[in-house]
Amino acid sequence: MSTPVLALTDVTAGYGAIPAIRSVSLEVRESEVVALLGANGAGKTTTIRAITGIIRPWSGTVLFEGNPIGGQPAAEIATRGVAMVPEGRQVFAELTIDENLRIGAYRIRDRRTIERTREEVLDLFPLLRQRLTQRAGTLSGGEQQMLAVGRALMLRPRLLLLDEPSMGLAPRIVEQLYEVLGRIVKTGVTALLVEQNAPMALTLASRGYVLMNGSIVHAASAEGLSHSSLVVDAYLGSHGDPAHPSA
Write out pLDDT tens, residues 49-76. 999 999 999 999 999 999 999 989 998 9
pLDDT in tens, 153-188: 999 999 999 999 988 888 888 898 899 889 888 888
Band (pLDDT 50/70/90 cuts) for residue 239 is very low
pLDDT band with cut points at 50, 70 and 90 for residue 24? very high
Give mean pLDDT, residues 230-237: 68
Residue 174 CA to residue 166 CA, distance in Å, equals: 6
Residue 78 CB neighbour total at 10 angstroms: 18
This prediction's pTM: 0.88
Q: What pLDDT shows up at residue 163? A: 92
State the architecture of 1-81+159-247 in CATH terms.
3-Layer(aba) Sandwich (3.40)
CA angle 192–217–64, rounded 5-degree value: 30
Cβ(153)–Cβ(121) under 8 Å? yes
Q: Is the pLDDT of residue 147 over 60?
A: yes
- The partner residues of 219 in beta bridges, in order of sequence, read 209
Q: pLDDT-derived band of residue 236, with 50, 70 and 90 as boundaries?
A: low
In this predicted structure, the answer to whether residue 241 has a pLDDT above a threshold of 50 is no
Higher pLDDT, 100 or 172: 100
- The residue-averaged pLDDT of 200-211 equals 93
Q: Where are the domains of the chain?
A: 1-81+159-247, 89-156
Residue 235: per-residue pLDDT = 66
Averaged confidence pLDDT in the chain: 89
Contact 208, 223 (CB under 8 A): no
